[in-house]
Structure 1
Amino acid sequence: MDSLWEILTVITVVVLGGLGLLVAFVRGSASRRRTAAPPAPPREEKVRGANTYQAGSTARIDTSKTAEPPAPPTTPRPTPEPEPVVVAPPVEPEPAAPAEVAIERPESARNRMGRLRSRLAASNNAMGKGLLGLLAGGQLDEAVWEEVEDTLLGADLGVEATTELVDALKRRVQVEGSATPEQLEGWLHEELLKLVDPTMDRRIAATRVGDRPACVMVVGVNGTGKTTSVGKLARVLVAEDKDVVLGAADTFRAAAADQLQTWGERVGVPTVRSDREGADPAAVAFDAVKDAADVEADVVIIDTAGRLHNKVGLMDELSKVKRVIEKQSAIDECLLVLDATTGQNGLRQAEVFAQAVDITGVVLTKLDGTAKGGIVVLIQRQLGVPVKLVGLGEGPDDLAPFDPVAFVDAILD
């Protein structure tokens, strides 16, 4: 019995060991099968193009579309350093050359009064015709002489000159007795010419004095045409072959210096001016005289600011300009510009200016626009200086040296 149990025990151990080996073998086979199976392909992602894909880190081409092998990887080229950009400085355009102004050559002014006689005659004909009509109308009684006096006074001849003229005509009539209209016209012409006084020196100081240029200072009231008269005077002197320099000492009116410079450029005459509006007019005048001396000009003409004759401060400033000029040069000519159409008011202006500066002559503008030709006689008598220039129109050459004979001829034409 014991042997039987031992045998059964051995059989049992053997059977159990065999079963254990079988189970181990089965498990090892299953494990080997799982290890040998290929891994599942990863999820494919589309990266670029219709036929190119990327799976993990390996790329492939869909052979259904193309049979070309994939391109070998290329090594990226190094990015070259950018060349520095050189920026050229902006090229400034060259300033346009100023347009050349054609230099004009004015004609001589010596016979200008005669050429413009028709204009003067048309404006002053009222005076001449009125006088001749009265004197040739018949008997010269006291009533006629009174009308003659009224006509002369209306022409701004002045009381003193009117009385002298009427008295002279009365004496001639008394001596000669009855007179023809032609005789009366001749007598009137002679007596008017005496009043205008052809013996007065009407020359313009425009010739060098020693080693310096002549200096002409021009003054006047606002609106009389002062700057224009200076420009026209330059043309008159250029026509006489004078070397002229202009000084723009009117620094208060913005366009005065430009206006004067334009006048000068037309006849090739330089203008000394300040670039700053409101500059000291005395300083500009001083520089103009100095520059004229440096270039050895014949004459320098100083244009001053127009001013009201009843403004004391402005008149004092005018005196200052005169004093500053005289520090280096005498003033050879001081011309007062008056508007002939202002009549008696022009005389009052003249008297105030004569007190501030030494007036040597008068420029009478707009003489062709007034019938009051007697203002010439009145001004000369009151100031003791001659009318030297007269304005007879708007043209550049309508400023003429005053000719007493031509003036009286025009009045009585």
Structure 2
Amino acid sequence: MNKPLSGIRVLDLSRVLAGPWCTQLLADLGADVIKIERPGVGDDTRHWGPPWHGEGEERVAAYFLAANRGKRSVAIDFSKPEGADLVRRLAGKSDVVVENFKVGALKKFGLDPDSLRTADPQLVYASITGFGQDGPYKDRAGYDYIIQGMSGLMSITGQPDGAPGGEPMRVGVAVIDLFTGMYTASAILAALVRRGVSGEGAHIDSALFDVSLALLANQASNALVSGQTPPRQGNTHPNIAPYQPFQTADQPLIIAVGNDRQFAKLAALLGAPEWAQDERFATNPARVANRATLIPLIEARLAERSAADWFAELDAAGIPAGPINTVSQALGDPQAAYRQVVEEMDRYRLVRSPLRLDGEPASSTLPPPRLGSHTAEVLAELGLEESERDRLKALNAIG
């Protein structure tokens, strides 16, 4: 496959998730991503187990594997002058730099955006922080969990007040980190396109807090339009009904009716076509207003048969529906198998990139790297002789 970012070099100074997720996406699209890691330690997530893959020196946390395919690992300690000089030299041969340090933390190493972009005005430099490069919270550390709480996301996630287990809940994956990585990758691609026209680079300022507010989407819009704080609704939807799991004779089944035509089909399938003409249920606003009456009626019909029976009929009728799978069930689903979502890479089993261009998966061909496994290779490309690499290793500037 002709990778669209072939020829673009990305210097990755980030660690944990938001930054690595961004650079993994760029690697999947063909960029040469050089991941700078601390000698002997590496990215924090290498140690975020269990579960682990491998044993002894080969042991690595599954968490690290999720966000670091397609990269070359170079072990450099840039807290040492010699190490910082190497990273600056690598930046001078890169198109993009991605970092997620606290605001101003890289200035003392000459790796801040002003220093590197003064040396190379065409450089695209992306900074990822919890709260952005300015504002009253700019010096705070930002973690996904904290941002989920501060942004209001947890306040709309979980069972409603008064229901069993009714309390704010975090989303089951670090969704703010992941979306920040995706938004940052989009901004990088836009900056590269602009650079191709104007020759000018950019400093991208990505903040987890900003992203988390953007992700509130219709819920934020609901609050702005209505002036009311959206409540937690468990598995129901604030703007659509019926749009939730229903208990059948044996297990829950999600039914997601998105328009009046689909509701009429559902009513007919359940043996109650008159519901589609009932003024309480005929339109989506009416169904939302009368959900407390409608939902028990639907539940009573669905309880008569199994989820598999209902799903077969709903699917045939074109009514969106589906089961609530475990992660393992989803990864083993026939559709996932057909689309080759899980791939074997070196000795790892990984979820490949969901991107496809001209029918071809955009996933990288390089497995997640061992710590420092490409140090000699990349520094040789920089022009360092073996004797110089040995000298730097003796100084503990490289691993």
Bin of the TM-score, shorter chain as denominator length: under 0.3
Q: Which has the larger radius of gyration?
A: 1
Query: Under a length normalisation based on structure 1, what TM-score does the superposition of the two structures give?
Result: 0.27
Query: Under a length normalisation based on structure 2, what TM-score does the superposition of the two structures give?
Result: 0.28
Structure richer in helix, relative to its length? 1
